[in-house]
A and B are shown apart, each in its own frame.
Chain A
Amino acid sequence: MDRNPLALRLWTTSIWVLVGFFIVNLLAMIASVVVNSFGTRWFNTWLPAGFTTKWYASAWLEFQLDDILIVTFQVVGAVVLLSGLLGVLGAYALARREFPGKRLVMLLILLPLLVPPITFGIPLATLLYQLGLGSSIAGVILANLVPTVPFVILVMIPFIEQIDPRVEAAARVFGASPRQLFVHVLVPMLAPGILAALLMVLVRTIAMFELTFFTAGPSSQTLVVALYYAVYAAGVRAGQSIDAMAVIYMATTLIWLLIALRFVNPTQLVTRVKKS
């Protein structure tokens, strides 16, 4: 292909066309939801007959979005705090110590991320129902923690390895207790990493469908599960009303994504944080 610049240019162009096609369709799909949520009546035309905001008010009432949003924020807040606490402590131990069986512990932590959530979600939901935690907010929080705690550990280990152990040794020499060491030395130094990890947990938990779906009851639904039920029973309610809810859902996740992107590289939502 080097000898044939035309073929090379054709190849490059076709790659960009492919990327462009994907992005145009993606954005058009999102736009169609937004446009529909503001439309009065949309049938057989390019755009709705008129525009209105009444669907937001009706969606808010019909789907009891105030309750659902409160539950969503409770679940997400608790998941972020608990996975941060368990994850950072665990990552610190795993980054700083070598001990027999460490490989086994690492495997144990990787496993929840390697199997489909449904495979452990169904037995876990059964177990939670037996413990009386089924369809409670506590149950939903516990189920959502299963993938997020390992995720925080994996993200935090390289961050902690970056910190010079001599800094901690110095703090100890000056008489810092382990608690003081954590609160005054490690947490401030790790703040960027912790912030990045927790924002990623936040964004992922809002969108986490399967585990919440299997453990939630009528009073512990998060926004994404409520949206699923609304789309599933489409026809019962106006399509615009469902899309109004979808837009509210998009707003709650995208706000956090925008905040997250100030602190992390988008690729970090998927791959491990690079060391340098």
Chain B
Amino acid sequence: MQMMIEDKPPLRLRLAAMGFDSVTLLALPAVLFVLALFVYPFIYGLILSVEPKDGAVWYTNYQAFFSDPFLYGTIGKTLRLAAPVTALCVVISIPIALRVRWMRHQRLLTTILVLPITLGTVLIAEGLLNYMGPQGWLNRTLITIGLISGPLQLVHNYWGAFLGLFISIFPFTFLLTLSYVTGIEPALEQAASTLGARPWARFRHILLPLLAQGLAVNFCLSFVQAFSVFPTAVLLGAPAGSTRVISIAAYTAAYEAYDYSLASTIAMIMAAVQLVVVAIILSSRGLLYRGPMGGAKG
């Protein structure tokens, strides 16, 4: 009997005490799924990228990418499109969200803004080709009211892709900003107002520091979408010129040249650039404010 008491409890109980029991196992299918279809392909892509087609040295593909301006130039072109669009979306979304949070019929506005997210980038591209084309309603209106004399070239160039991307991403950014803004305790602003702070001072010293963390996350999530711009750049932009973005290069390598190794290399470089941008944004958010988000609530 003495022996029995000194024995450790059965493994099942010890695991249960740590939090592993039959309930925890319910997460197993989902975890295995993510491991099999996300982590494994990612690692597979990484390995594939260092195994060039003709059995050359491991870094051949990376060397090829960074020595060919047609390939490495796509990073700059993608950033030149994605960064300004994302920044513009975040900046414009702040004053609008600050105003809209006091609005009574918010639901109607948010429903209209959800439309572009639901329709997706392909439909927006097709719609804008009609709407902003040389014979489209936008140019006709601008000519009729006398702002311009001839139609503006708004599609099949950088600005076409820029506007298309803006329309696809702004609703997402705005709704995210709105959810952060409504999470701020209104009493903080009222207190500042009572103490004599003007609107700009209230924004600069109360709202902005509280929002900084949310805006950084918002920028990252919006940037993920802007950076992987593909249909917009092909259909609305100049896919052979100013909007030859990195996803076009990856697609061409995989489905036109059938060089999956190079395609995986481009995908990995894309992920790396994305991670660098996210790291820069998330590390700089601490410059403004460190502390709990959402203020006095919770």
Contacts and interface: CB of A to CB of B under 8 A. Distances in A.
Interface of A: 1-2, 8, 11-12, 15-16, 18-19, 22-23, 25-30, 32-33, 36, 42-44, 46, 86-87, 89-90, 92-94, 96-100, 102, 105, 108-109, 111-112, 114-127, 142-143, 145-146, 149-150, 153, 178, 203, 206-210, 213-214, 224, 227-228, 231-232, 234, 239, 242-243, 246, 249-250, 253-254, 257, 261, 265-267, 269-271
Contacts of B37: 124, 142-143, 145-146
A97 B130 contact: no
B33 A269 contact: no
B4 interface: no
Contact of B167 (A26, A87, A93): A26
B41 A92 contact: no
Nearest to A47: B137
A216 to B, nearest CB: 11
Contacts of B260: 122, 126
A253 B136 CA distance: 25
For the residues of A in contact with B, the DSSP-based class is: helix
Contacts of B179: 267, 270-271
B90 interface: no
Measured as residues with beta carbon below 8 angstroms from the partner, the interface class of chain B is: 35 or more
B23 A96 contact: yes
Given A89-B30, A250-B123, 16 more contacts: A19-B96, A28-B131, A28-B138, A29-B128, A87-B30, A97-B23, A102-B19, A116-B228, A119-B228, A122-B250, A123-B264, A127-B40, A178-B22, A232-B235, A246-B123, A270-B171
B19 to A, nearest CB: 3
A19 B34 contact: no
A89 B22 CA distance: 12
9 contacts: A118-B267, A122-B260, A122-B266, A127-B44, A224-B123, A249-B123, A257-B115, A267-B179, A269-B117
B96 A118 contact: no
A150 B130 contact: no
Given A203-B118, A243-B130, A249-B123, A123 B34 contact: no
Contacts, number: 265
Given A30-B115, A145-B33, A267-B110, A227 B123 contact: yes
A1 B202 CA distance: 11
Interface in B86-111: 92, 95-96, 99-100, 107, 109-111
Q: Is the interface of B mostly helix, strand, loop or mixed?
A: helix
B120 A122 contact: no
Contact of B45 (A22, A120, A142): A120
A170 B191 CA distance: 47
Given A105-B31, A109-B30, A122-B267, A227 B137 contact: no
B176 interface: yes
Contacts of A11: 95
Interface stretch (B52-60, B64-72, B270-278, B283-291): B270-278
Nearest to A267: B175
A126 B35 contact: no
B231 A209 contact: yes
Contact of A227 (B27, B122, B234): B122
Contacts of A120: 38, 41-42, 45, 267
Interface in B247-298: 247, 250-251, 254, 260, 263-264, 266-268, 270-271, 274-275, 278
